Structure 1
Amino acid sequence: MKKILFVTDLYYEAKGRLYYEEDLFLTGELRKDFNLVICNPKDMNNFNEEFDLTIFRNAGPIANFKEEYNLFRKNIVSKNLKTYNSFDGKGDMNGKDYLLELTKKDFAIIKTIDNLDDFNKLPKTETYVVKPKDGADSIGLEFLSKDEVFKTVDAADRNTLIQPFINFEYEVSFYFIDKEFQYALYAPDKSRRWELKEYTPTKEDLDFAKSFIEWNNIDHGIQRVDACRDENGELLLVELEDLNPYLSLLDISPQLRDKFVTTLKSSIQKVLDEI
């Protein structure tokens, strides 16, 4: 039987979420069909050559193990490592520059810049959101006025993202395996963003989410399209998480969870069969 290295950090603490519970559940399910070992991301480069497939899951922010992650990315190419997700995505697995690209391509996204010279391209608002490109889980996030933005952000710095503050109605996330939609969740109370409920998307909602899945076009893996509903009722992309999206698996119905796990197993098996 082929061997899987499941990369996760069971000790990482995330606000409002229990990463370790999700991955313990998921590994428990995958072990029923696969030969699997759990590994911390800081140790993965010592072992992944000994396994047929590396599944990269709830490992926490890359900033916590940047050196190991960069080596891992190099090894994928130089040693032809097989991974899940496939590392051919254009979203979060490569940082946040894709937000700039999607802004220029005029996708339905919260407009984003990394250059103060482009400030006039943003919608005018009283408050702007400033955050580091390599941030995660709101690390380094600030809410500033225009004057404060120009005082805080180094004009020569291209490692900071600037966006208008959106007074949204709610946040909603769409979850996909490969290019197949699985479920959607939303936070009806925006002050409690991790108190999620199942959401039934409209055709327009799915068309919105699928436009980013098609743009990204990864070979295989799990993706989460995070969006917000603005005051005009339009969906805007917040983030395209194609590296290790938290799935909120323990917050969905047993029926949806079983369907997700079954689809995931089929996707993983397809990758293993091609090795």
Structure 2
Amino acid sequence: MKKILYMTDLYYNANGRKYYEEDLYITGILRRYFDIAICNPRDSHSFENDVDLIVFRNTGGVKGFKEAYEKFVERVHKNKLNTFNEFVGKGDMKGKQYLIDLTEYNYPVIPTIDSKNDLNKLLEADIYVIKPIDGADSIGLEFITKEELLNRDIKDKETLIQPMIDFEYEVSFYFINNKFEYAMYAPDKEKRWKLEMYNASDKDLEFAMKFIEWNDIKNGIQRIDACRTKSGELLLVELEDLNPYLSILEVDENTREKFITDFIDALKRMCGDK
């Protein structure tokens, strides 16, 4: 059988999510088809050249191991390591710059800047959201008034600034190799990870596909997170192309089985079995 190095942090503490449960479930199935070893992303160096494929999964925010992550990505390109996801994405894989870029490109995204000098590019708002440009899992996120924002010492290029959007709910669209798999949403916006299955419309999928097509990843799992505004439109919140949590244990059995089957097929192709 082909060898897979499955990178995850089983001890990562994420609000509302149990990474270890998801990854132990998935690897428990994958071991029927592959020789699989689970590895913390900080410890992969010694094993990377001994496997057919490296699967980068629930490692948590890479800010917590930034140096190790950057060295890993450098080795991926230098040594032409076979990875899933492939490291060519423009989303969270490279930080949050894409939110600023997509704002400039007039994509349907929550308007985002990284300098107070660009406030004129944002919607006028009573409350603004600020967060570190290299942050994750709401670490460092703050809600402040415009006056507080103007008086705050914020270094350009280090902090994202957005207007606070009054939305109805958040919804996530999950893809494997650019193929839509399922969607989930949080009907109670105060409970982001209390998710239910969502019946995505053609218009919803057209929205999500704009970002999948823009991102150019052919081999990998991507999650498009969006919010539904009071006026009914969808705006991008996050393009998670690095290590998207799947909420796979919360979907119905048929959806879960279909996703796992497509996942296994994608991994076999990456290993050269198909």
Instruction: Please indicate, yes or no, whether the TM-score normalized by the shorter chain is above 0.5.
Output: yes
Give the letter aligned to residue 43 of structure 2: D
Instruction: Give how far 1:166 is off.
Output: 0.5
Q: Which residue does the alignment assign to 2:227?
A: 228
Instruction: Give how far 1:219 is off.
Output: 2.2
- Could you tell me which runs of 5 or more consecutive residues in structure 2 were left unpaired when the two chains were aligned: none
Q: Which residue does the alignment assign to 1:3?
A: 3
Write the deviation string for residues 205-247 of structure 1: whole angstroms up to 9, x where unpaired: 0000011000001120000000000010000000000000000
Instruction: Give how far 1:162 is off.
Output: 0.2
Give the letter aligned to residue 242 of structure 2: L
Give the letter aligned to residue 83 of structure 2: T
Q: Report whether the alignment pairs 1:190 with 2:189.
A: yes
CA distance in 2, matches of 1:37, 1:209: 33
Secondary structure of the corresponding residue to residue 46 of structure 1? coil
Q: Report whether the alignment pairs 1:158 with 2:164.
A: no
What is the RMSD computed on CA atoms of the aligned residues?
1.1
Q: Report whether the alignment pairs 1:252 with 2:236.
A: no
Give the letter aligned to residue 55 of structure 1: V
Instruction: Give how far 1:159 is off.
Output: 1.0
Instruction: Give how far 1:274 is off.
Output: 7.5
Write the deviation string for residues 30-82 of structure 1: whole angstroms up to 9, x where unpaired: 11111110001110122212212110000011011111100001001111111
Q: How does 1:82-231 map to 2 (within 5 A)?
A: 82-154=82-154, 156-231=155-230
Give the letter aligned to residue 162 of structure 2: Q
Instruction: Give how far 1:129 is off.
Output: 0.3
Secondary structure of the corresponding residue to residue 237 of structure 1? strand
For the 8 Å contact 1:88–1:219, the answer to whether it is kept is no
CA distance in 2, matches of 1:176, 1:25: 19
For the 8 Å contact 1:8–1:23, the answer to whether it is kept is yes
Q: Which residue does the alignment assign to 1:53?
A: 53
Moved over 3 A (4+): none
CA distance in 1, matches of 2:61, 2:191: 21
Aligned-residue identity in percent: 54
Structure 1 residues 259 and 114, CA gap change in structure 2 (3 angstroms): same
Secondary structure of the corresponding residue to residue 129 of structure 2? strand
Give the letter aligned to residue 69 of structure 1: Y
* TM-score, with length taken from structure 2: 0.98
For the 8 Å contact 1:186–1:199, the answer to whether it is kept is yes
Write the deviation string for residues 132-188 of structure 1: whole angstroms up to 9, x where unpaired: 01111110000011111122242x431100000001000000000011000000001
For the 8 Å contact 1:6–1:39, the answer to whether it is kept is yes
Q: How does 1:61-76 map to 2 (within 5 A)?
A: 61-76=61-76
CA distance in 2, matches of 1:113, 1:54: 34
Give the letter aligned to residue 258 of structure 1: E
CA distance in 2, matches of 1:181, 1:104: 27
CA distance in 1, matches of 2:156, 2:105: 23
CA distance in 2, matches of 1:51, 1:106: 42
CA distance in 2, matches of 1:216, 1:274: 26
Q: Which residue does the alignment assign to 1:18?
A: 18
Matched length? 274
Secondary structure of the corresponding residue to residue 243 of structure 2? coil
